[in-house]
Amino acid sequence: MPHTRFTLLCFAALGALAAACGQPQAQEAQAAREHATVALRRSIDDTPSVQASVAAPDDTVAAPPSGAGTTGFVAEGTRRKPQRAAQAARPVQPAGRVRPEPKLNRRAFDDTINAVTARSSQLRAARLQAWGDTPVEPTEPFDPLGIRAGSFLLKPWFESGIGYDTNPLAANTNPKPSLYQQFASGLSAQSDWSRHALAADIRGSYTQYDTVSGNNRPEVDAILRGRIDVSDRTRYALEGHFQLTTESAGNPDAPTDVVRPPPIVTTGGSVGFAHRWNRLDVAAAAGLDHVVYENGELLNGETLDRSDRNYDQPSVRLRTGYELRPGVTPFVAAEFDSREFANEIDSSGYQRASTGMEIRAGTSFELSRLLTGEASLGWIARNYVDPRLADISGLLVDASLVWVASGLTTVRFTAVTTINETSFEDTTGVLERILALRIDHAFRRWLIGTIRLGWEFDDYGQSGRRDNRFVVGAQASVKLARELWLTGEVRQETLDSNEPVNDYTANIMMVGLRLQR
């Protein structure tokens, strides 16, 4: 109850402050209008012809008699031409008046609210860019046109590919190569309403190996976003997301004696609010994620219980930015969350409940459309309830930049820092850092070449394990038509650990076909 009264008092104080600030501006506007009225009366003669010229829309009338005022008229040879009454009554700018409020940068405003509500989906997208299959970027004249469905534009697509992996199980010795097939499909939908917005992005894939069926993996990622425009400067945003994935081979947490990799299901959402005062953007969001580690089927027919890894993660995110100039908006952002496990004590006897914090400062870029995105530095930390588990903290580096080096070449840079859960031995968690560089070059409008470099560093805390993961890849995309693209990719994935028994190298080749509308 005291918190409610305090909030109401704060809003009342803000309202009184806004009214007090608006009263002098109203008085100033009234004085300006009176001054303009007097000037208008002095500028015209009382003859019927001049009075008619002020009231009529036609400007071709005789000049006023000699000696009449000239305010509100412009010279035209030996004749004078009266301006329209609306132009003559323009308020005079008093000395020292505050400059008018700058025009709203809608793109920057949208970026602000998207950044505060879509943090988890941005992290997934960054990891996909570094380690997943390289997405093909649309280019004119091969952009998909989509399908119009009422006030929505739908863009469905389907991909099918065949590949070869020299080490799909990420084995240190005696790797077992295998052919594989990958099927993927998705749908994006975007409203084109004059106010408010609703967008959806749904994609899923299935990878099937010929000789190592125990490594078959499904993937699903779905995001639904909505925006409510209360006014030009006040917006609400809502997001819901669903993700189904598995722990990849080579991950210390991935079980090795199961029939197939057990899935991990994440469901959640967030509600956000953003408002702009002049050049100042303020946004806040509250979110909740529910993470479930499904049980696995062991090779001996028994069930692997992983329920002790299930947890809920409520979070609060804040972000404030000030637009110094169009396209440059420095900001500060903070996120606070807690992870509350379904089982208070896990199978190893530890309490893994924890609280997390991220604080960072940076700036967004939109410089002549040549450099867009944002970059920030800060600090990330996670504190655990169990005193036997060491806390984790470190430098936070985040970036998502796109540089249009020329009309043919585009460079993308991504940096991500996160702290993820792990069941590896007695380790508290894993601090992950990801850096990714991607270069796209158009040899022709229908032929796009891509080079991809990625690095990930995994720090497993007090266990002493440190892993460096590298990916180097190249891709060619042949766009036969808007609806049909061909792709080919080769890449090498390497794990270099301070425990050499975990090292591995995998060479992957794939050709695919993409259908879209």
| pLDDT computed for residue 128 by the predictor | 63
What would the mean pLDDT of 265-283 be, rounded to a whole number?
91
Q: Token pair of 122, please? A: 């941005």
| pLDDT computed for residue 433 by the predictor | 92
> What percent of the chain lies above the pLDDT cut of 70?
73
Residue with tokens 């994440």: 266
Q: Token pair of 357, please? A: 């914090």
pLDDT at 74 over 70: no
Cβ contact 61:84 at 8 Å = no
> What percent of the chain lies above the pLDDT cut of 90?
47
Query: For residue range 448-471, what is the model confidence (pLDDT) as tens digits?
Result: 999 999 999 999 888 888 999 999
Residue with tokens 């070869």: 164
pLDDT at 178 over 90: yes
H or E element at residue 243? strand 234-246
Categorize the per-residue pLDDT at 95 as very low, low, confident or very high, splitting at 50, 70 and 90. Answer: very low
| pLDDT computed for residue 100 by the predictor | 45
pLDDT at 257 over 70: yes
| pLDDT computed for residue 103 by the predictor | 54
Strand partners, 492: 472, 507
Residues of the chain with CATH 2.40.170: 106-516
pLDDT at 204 over 60: yes
pLDDT at 155 over 90: yes
Nearest-angstrom CA–CA distance, 1 and 455? 51
Query: DSSP of 248-296, one letter per residue?
Result: PTT-TTS-SSBSSPPEEEEEEEEEEEEEEETTEEEEEEEEEEEEEE--E
> b/e for 42-71, b at 16 or more Cβ within 10 A?
ebbeeeeebeebbeeeeeebebbeeebeee
User: In 3-state terms, what secondary structure has residue 6?
Assistant: helix
Query: For residue range 41-69, what is the model confidence (pLDDT) as tens digits?
Result: 444 333 333 333 333 333 333 333 333 33
Q: Of residues 464 and 330, which shows the higher confidence score?
A: 330
| pLDDT computed for residue 427 by the predictor | 78
Of 96-100, 226-230, 312-316, 442-446, give the lowest mean pLDDT range. Answer: 96-100
What would the mean pLDDT of 214-222 be, rounded to a whole number?
89
Nearest-angstrom CA–CA distance, 253 and 251? 5
Categorize the per-residue pLDDT at 126 as very low, low, confident or very high, splitting at 50, 70 and 90. Answer: low
Of 58-72, 286-300, 329-343, 434-448, give the lowest mean pLDDT range. Answer: 58-72
pLDDT at 130 over 70: no
Please confirm whether the linkage preceding 141 is cis (ω < 30° from 0). yes
pLDDT at 21 over 70: no
Nearest-angstrom CA–CA distance, 131 and 434? 10
Q: Of residues 12 and 508, which shows the higher confidence score?
A: 508
What would the mean pLDDT of 149-160 be, rounded to a whole number?
94
| pLDDT computed for residue 26 by the predictor | 42
Query: For residue range 280-317, what is the model confidence (pLDDT) as tens digits?
Result: 999 999 999 999 999 988 888 888 888 889 999 999 99
Residue type, 164: Y
Cβ contact 287:315 at 8 Å = yes
Categorize the per-residue pLDDT at 396 as very low, low, confident or very high, splitting at 50, 70 and 90. Answer: very high
Of 67-71, 91-95, 218-222, give the lowest mean pLDDT range. Answer: 67-71
| pLDDT computed for residue 132 by the predictor | 62
pLDDT at 227 over 50: yes
Provide the whole-model pTM.
0.75
Topology at the third CATH level for domain 106-516: Maltoporin; Chain A (2.40.170)
Look over the chain and give the mean of its residue pLDDT values, rounded to a whole number.
Answer: 79
Q: Exposure of 355 by Cβ count < 10 A (0-12 exposed, 13-18 middle, 19+ buried)?
A: middle
